[in-house]
Structure 1
Amino acid sequence: MTQYYRPLVQSDPCRPDDAYPLAGGWAWFQDVEVLSRDRAPQRCPARHAPDAVLQRLTAVHAPIAGLDISAPRVMGILNVTPDSFSDGGQYDAPERALAHARTMAGQGADIIDIGGESTRPGAVEVPIDDEIHRTAPVIQAIRAEMEMPISIDTRKCPVAQAAIEAGADLVNDVAGFTFDPGLALYCGNKGVPVCVMHAQGDPETMQAAPHYDDVLLDVYDFLAARIDALLAAGIDRTQIMVDPGIGFGKTLDHNLALLKRISLFHSLGCPILLGVSRKKFIGTLGNAPDPADRAAGSVALALAAVAQGVQVLRVHDVFETRSALNLWQAVTG
C-alpha cells in the first residue's frame, strides 16, 4: 500500500521550537496527513513520517532560473497569441508585448512566462514555425532591455531551442514533457531549468470528459513519474518545478480537490507552481463570467495556495497579486 504524506502547513508567527521548516521558506509544519488509495486520510505527527519524506519536505530549494524561492514569487503571463482565453490578441505584436513586459516588471513580476500557442480548452495545435515567429523576437527584445528571468511556455523542442537562444531561462511545458520526446533531452543537455505540468488529454479535447480514480493521487503519481523521466534525461531535481495543472483536463470538483490539498506536492521535493489565474471555475464560483473580472477570485486562490507553501504564482493580474502578497506577508511574517 503506497502512502502519501501531506504537510499540514502553517505560517503563524508563534512557531513551536520543534516545528519542521517547509522547503526553506516562510512556512512550517508539525503534522502530516497520511493519504492512500484504500483507506481514509489520517493525521499524525510529522516525526512519524519516513526520514526520506521529511528530507524532501524540509530541504532548502536552490534558486531556479535565477529565482530565490524562499519567498513567494510572481510569474507574469505574456500570451503573444491571437486566441488565448483571457488576453488573446492584446499582445501579439512585439511592441505591445514588450510594453506589457515592462508594465509587469514595474508591478512586481519576478519572472515573465511567454507563450505562443493557446492551451485554452478547444485550442488547436499551432505550427512550430508560427510559434517561434511569435515568441523568439519578443524574448530577444525583452532580454535586450531587462535582466529578469524569462520562461518559454511550449510543448515543442524547436520552439524551446529558439527561445533559449533568444534569451529565455526556463522551459514551462504544459504537456509534462510527453508531447515532444526531444524536449527533456534538450533541456538536460543544455542545463535548462524546467516546469513540468500535469494535463489529461490535449487542449483540443481535454475538457470533454475528464476522469480520475483519485485526482489528487493520480496527479501526484504522474508528476513523480515525469520527475523520474526528467532526472533520466539529465535534469537535476533542484532545477525542476511542478504544476498540478489546474483546469487542464479537470472539472470544477477536480480543481477544488487539488487546491484544498496542494501542499501534498511538496513531498515531490520540488518547488510548486500554480497557474489558476482567471480560469473558468473562478468565474463560476465567483459570479464573474467575464475573465477580466476574475482578478479578485484569482488573488483569493493565490493567497490560499501561498498559505500552503506554494512558491510560484502564474498570473495575469500582477499588480493585484503582488499587492495582496505584500500585505499577506506583512501580517504573517
Structure 2
Amino acid sequence: MVTEPAVPDEAGTRPLAGTQPAAGTLRLRGQTFAGRRYAVMGVINRTPDSFYDRGATYALEAALASADHAVAAGVDIIDVGGVKAGYGAHVDEAEEIRRTVPFVRELRDRHPGVVISVDTWRAEVGRAVAEAGADMINDTWAGADPDLARVAAEYGTGLVCSHSGGLAPRTDPHRLRYDDVVADVVSGVCALAERAVSVGVRPDGVMIDPTHDFGKNTYHSLELTRRLGELSATGWPVLVAVSNKDFVGETLQAGVTERGDGTLAALAVSAREGARVFRVHDVAAARAALDVVAAVG
C-alpha cells in the first residue's frame, strides 16, 4: 500500500494511513459516537423493488414521511438507497442520482441535525449526494469503484468499508468458500479502511462492515456475528446490517416479515461484541433494544 502524506483537516492535521480512531470513536455531523452510544441507522429505499418493503418508500413524499417517523423514533442516521442490492432491473447512474439527490436535499432542509448516508458504490453518485448534503457514503460493494473513497476525502464525508467476497455489485453468493471467513473479512475491510485514510478520508469517519449475507451464506454470517469482537478489536468503528437478512430467516425458518425478533437478537449480540452503528428497518424497536444493552453495560 502506498501511503500519501498527511493533509490538513479542520484541526490542522490528518493522521497517516493505519491510524484508527481511539476505541472505535466515530464522528459524523458534529456528533461523536463512542463508548455505549450506539448509532441507529434507519433504512429508506428509493427503489420500486426492495426485498423488504417492495417499494413502499419509492415515492418522494412516502420516503420523507418515513424519514419523519424515523426521526421521531430516535434515529441517528438515515441511509437512503437508490438501487436494489440484489438482482433486478438495471439502474444507471443518472437514474440512481434522480432517486437519491432530491431526497437528500429535502431531508437536509427538513432535519438539519440528522446524519444522512447514501448507499452507493458509484463515485459519481457519491459526488452528487455529497454536494446535496450527505454526510456519509455507505459503500456496500467493497470499493468496486476505487474513486469513491477519493470523493469521500474531497467532501469530508464518512465512508463505510465493506466485504463482499470479491463479488461484483448486485450479484449473489454461490458456493463461496473461506478458510476462515472472519479472518478474510478483517483483512479485507482493514485494507480498505487504511487505503481510504491514505487518500485523505478522515480516520474518525471511517467504518468497517462485515456485510452479512453479501458474498456469504448463513453459516458465514452467523460466524461473523459470533466473532464480531475480532472486528471491533481492530479499532475501526463497526457497522452491522443484519436487519431482516436471509441468515436470520434461514436460522428461524422465517419469511421476510417474520424476522423482527431474530433481528433484535442479532443486534444485541453485535452491540455486546462492540458494534457501533446498526442499520435497521424498525428504528423504534432497535433503539429500545440498544438502549437496554447500553444500560446493562
Bin for the TM-score computed over the shorter chain: 0.7 to 0.9
Equivalent in the alignment of 2:227: 261
Q: Do the aligned partners of 1:124 and 1:204 also contact (CA within 8 Å) in 2?
A: no
Deviations 1:238-261 (A, max 9, x none): 220000010101011100111111
Which runs of structure 1 show a deviation greater than 4 angstroms over 4 or more consecutive aligned residues?
55-58
Partner of 1:317: 282
Deviation (angstroms), 1:234: 1.1
The letter for the 1-side match of 2:221 is N
SS of structure 1 residue aligned to 2:32: coil
What is residue 246 of structure 1 aligned with on the other side?
Answer: 212
Percent sequence identity over aligned pairs: 35
Residue aligning to 1:307: 272
- Provide the residue aligned with 2:201 in structure 1: 235
1:295 maps to: 260
Q: Provide the aligned length of Structure 1 versus Structure 2.
A: 276
Give the TM-score normalised by the residue count of structure 1: 0.78
Number of the residue aligned with 2:75? 109
Q: For 2:286 and 2:23, how far apart are their aligned partners in 1?
A: 27
Equivalent position to 1:138, from 103, 111, 114: 103
Q: What residue in structure 2 maps to residue 174 of structure 1?
A: 140
Q: Is there any run of 5+ residues in structure 2 with no aligned partner, and where?
A: 1-17
C-alpha contact 1:56 1:266 (8 A) present in aligned 2: no
Assess if the C-alpha contact under 8 Å between 2:80 and 2:117 holds in 1.
yes
Equivalent position of 1:68 in the other structure: 32
CA RMSD of aligned residues (A): 1.9
Match of 1:206 among 160, 172, 177: 172
Alignment partners' CA distance in 1, 2:252 and 2:101: 36
Q: CA deviation at 1:152?
A: 0.7
Deviation by residue 1:180-235 (Cα, 9 ceiling, x = unmatched):
22211121122221111111213543322222121000111111211222122111
Instruction: List gaps (5 residues or longer) in structure 1.
Output: 1-52
> Is residue 79–residue 88 contact of structure 1 (8 Å, CA) maintained in 2?
no
Return the alpha-carbon distance in structure 2 between the equivalents of residues 133 and 229 of structure 1: 30
Check 1:228–1:124 CA distance in 2 against 1; reply closer, same or farther (3 A cut).
farther
Aligned-residue offset at 1:64: 3.0
Question: How high is the TM-score relative to the length of structure 2?
Answer: 0.88
Q: Secondary structure at the match of 1:326?
A: helix
